[in-house]
């Protein structure tokens, strides 16, 4: 006959067995073969939905065991994101990985001077989205209206920087965050004061900054190039910017022909007066600042020395001499 002490020992053993069995099962991998799957958990997804998804994907054997493991070991904590999981991982390992937020992070670097084509290629290379899908979103009227973009695309409003992206975030929300970085610049009091002084809108500033970004090869020349454009605008002259012509005809940088300069596009600043239709790239902060703080010069012209620098002049006669010196004569060099 069992004594009370024996009964207590047996009860404790049974309880230990009941507790240890789920722990043991939760520590056993789903399979010995490594079958890797990517699982995206969006923000606000309920833990039971996560468990159901993992079971449907064949990553765990038991939905309820995952729930129990998650609640007991991590208080039901799940951090949204994209997770690379395999059938060689146990339920306990999967729950721990998701509780710690060990998700896949994508890095996107937008370089100063990238246009939409460059951004699209960077997005695809980073694995965030296909280039074609990016173009569709970047030119979507409803999306542009939501962001209050004063144009027909995101061109010019994708602030150059390095960004981190995880797939629990929708791509449109990610792009919106990048665009907001540009608009934050225009909320600064000093920037607003200078725009008022020049009677420029944020759209005007972005357009002119994008031209400066493409024209200037070295940072110190940006205020000088800005001054030339401001002076020409003030005197009612065309801006005569080669990069805008190239952008309008979809041409990669090269020497423009007379036929190129005569093509009637909304970006041909040889044929048009004033600013082109829109930005031609995504400018850096220094180019935006150069628009608002041009150098104190009356120069109206500049021409490349072919070494990354430019020579500036006020008179057309002097400018033509420099063109002959640096541009026409470069073809005669051996």
pLDDT digits (tens, 9 = 90+) for 155-189: 999 999 999 999 889 999 999 999 999 999 999 99
Q: What's the rounded Cα separation, in Å, for the pair 200 and 109?
A: 29
CB distance 86 to 144 below 8 Å: no
Q: What's the rounded Cα separation, in Å, for the pair 224 and 254?
A: 23
Q: Which two tokens stand for residue 71?
A: 């609640």
pLDDT digits (tens, 9 = 90+) for 8-60: 554 444 443 444 445 555 555 556 666 888 899 998 899 999 999 999 988 98
Q: What's the rounded Cα separation, in Å, for the pair 131 and 152?
A: 18
The sign of the torsion formed by the CA atoms of 181, 184, 188, 193 equals positive
Give the start-to-end residue ranges of the domains of the chain. 25-100, 106-185, 200-332
Residue 118 confidence (pLDDT) above 50: yes
The DSSP letter of residue 29 is B
Q: What is the pLDDT, as a whole number, of residue 197?
A: 96
pLDDT digits (tens, 9 = 90+) for 72-105: 888 889 999 999 999 888 888 899 999 999 999 9
Q: What is the pLDDT, as a whole number, of residue 30?
A: 55
pLDDT digits (tens, 9 = 90+) for 241-266: 999 999 999 877 667 888 888 999 99
The pLDDT mean for the chain works out to: 88
Q: What's the rounded Cα separation, in Å, for the pair 109 and 98?
A: 27
Task: Provide CB contacts within 8 A for 224, sequence distance 6+.
Answer: 294, 295, 297, 299, 302, 310, 312
pLDDT digits (tens, 9 = 90+) for 276-295: 999 999 999 999 999 999 99
Q: What's the rounded Cα separation, in Å, for the pair 87 and 94?
A: 10
Instruction: Name which CATH class applies to 25-100.
Output: alpha beta
Cα of first residue to Cα of last residue in the chain, in angstroms, is 112
Maximum separation of any 2 CA atoms in the chain, in Å: 120
The DSSP letter of residue 36 is E
The whole-model pTM stands at: 0.82
The DSSP letter of residue 327 is I
Q: Is 252 exposed, middle or buried (0-12, 13-18, 19+ CB in 10 A)?
A: exposed
Helices (H) and strands (E) in the chain, counts: 15, 6
Measure Cα distances from 142 to 117, 138, 181, 282, 289 in Å.
21, 10, 20, 21, 30
Measure Cα distances from 207 to 90, 288, 326 in Å.
55, 9, 28
Q: What is the pLDDT, as a whole number, of residue 325?
A: 83
């Amino acid at each position: 006959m069992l004594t009370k002490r024996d009964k207590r020992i047996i009860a404790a053993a049974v309880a230990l067995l009941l507790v240890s069995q789920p722990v043991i099962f939760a520590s056993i991998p789903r399979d010995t073969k490594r079958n890797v799957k990517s699982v995206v958990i969006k923000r606000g997804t309920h833990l039971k939905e996560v468990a159901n998804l993992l079971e449907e994907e064949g990553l765990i054997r038991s939905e309820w065991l995952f729930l129990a493991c998650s609640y007991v070991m991590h208080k039901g904590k799940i951090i949204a994101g994209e997770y690379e999981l395999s059938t060689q991982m146990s339920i306990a390992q999967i729950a721990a990985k998701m509780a710690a937020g060990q998700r896949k992070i994508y890095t996107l670097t937008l370089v100063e001077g990238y246009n939409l084509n460059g951004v699209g290629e960077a997005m695809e290379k980073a694995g965030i989205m296909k280039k074609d899908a990016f173009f569709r979103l970047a030119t979507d009227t409803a999306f542009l209206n939501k962001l209050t973009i004063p144009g027909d695309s995101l061109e010019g409003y994708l602030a150059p920087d390095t960004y981190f992206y995880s797939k629990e975030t929708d791509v449109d929300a990610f792009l919106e965050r990048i665009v907001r970085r540009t608009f934050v610049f225009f909320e600064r009091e000093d920037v607003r004061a200078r725009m008022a002084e020049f009677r420029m809108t944020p759209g005007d500033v972005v357009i002119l900054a994008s031209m400066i970004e493409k024209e200037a090869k070295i940072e110190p020349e940006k205020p000088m190039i800005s001054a030339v454009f401001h002076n020409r605008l003030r005197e009612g002259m065309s801006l005569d910017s080669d990069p805008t012509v190239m952008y309008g005809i979809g041409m990669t940088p090269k020497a423009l022909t007379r036929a190129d300069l005569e093509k009637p596009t909304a970006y041909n600043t040889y044929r048009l007066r004033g600013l082109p239709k829109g930005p031609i790239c995504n400018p850096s902060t220094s180019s935006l600042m150069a628009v608002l703080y041009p150098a104190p010069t009356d120069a109206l012209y500049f021409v490349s020395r072919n070494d990354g620098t430019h020579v500036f002049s006020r008179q057309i006669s002097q400018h033509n001499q420099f063109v002959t010196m640096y541009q026409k004569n470069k073809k005669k060099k051996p």
